[in-house]
Amino acid sequence: MRAPQLTLLLCLALPILAGCQLALPGRADKAAAAQANPITLGAVQVTSLDAPKAQNAPAPLTAPAAVPQAAPTAPAPSAEPVAAQAASAPPEVPSIPVTPQALECKSTGGVWGRVGDTVAFSCFRQTRDAGKSCRRQTDCETECLARSRTCAPITPMIGCNPVLQSDGREVTLCID
């Protein structure tokens, strides 16, 4: 390095280093130690893991020789108002509508379900050759997946999926 560059580097580094303080053992003063912790907003308390046991510590549990079985009792009525119980109950999940298409789908072994995040529904069916090795679309009942070179497990394949065409070329098939 040339002298002007070294001088410039030192001029830039000195103000930065002047703002640093080394935390050496024995240099921390008591006032700094008692400062409020910015995370917990209180003074940090330091305790030893080897603290003496409390006088009222519970005795260690031991298994009794025989435990008598108590007779089952009816649950006590709740003192909580019915409105509060209803508010704390999980919300009801809307059921999937039963349409003629849904009934037909279920009767042929399909699963009637929502298509992604849309309001549309479709019949999803397992393919007969799911997981079978393939090199082109004609090797499969529906689609030959390009990444795994296996036949698609379900139909329709919703979303964008890389598939192999009948001539073996890879394309991206998008079904909404």
Q: Give the percent of the chain with pLDDT over 90.
A: 32
pLDDT value for 128: 93
Lowest mean pLDDT among 49-58, 61-70, 103-112, 141-150: 61-70
Cis-peptide, bond into residue 156, ω within 30° of zero: yes
Lowest mean pLDDT among 66-75, 107-116, 158-167: 66-75
For 24-50, the pLDDT digits (tens) are 555 555 555 555 555 555 666 677 777
Domain assignments of the chain as residue spans, ordered by start: 100-175
Residue 143 has pLDDT above 50, yes or no: yes
Residue 12 has pLDDT above 70, yes or no: yes
pLDDT value for 94: 63
pLDDT value for 4: 72
pLDDT band (50, 70, 90) for residue 62: very low
pLDDT value for 173: 92
Mean per-residue pLDDT of the chain: 73
pTM over 0.75: no
pLDDT value for 153: 94
User: 173: Cβ–Cβ under 8 A, 6 or more apart, which residues?
Assistant: 143, 157, 160, 161, 162, 163
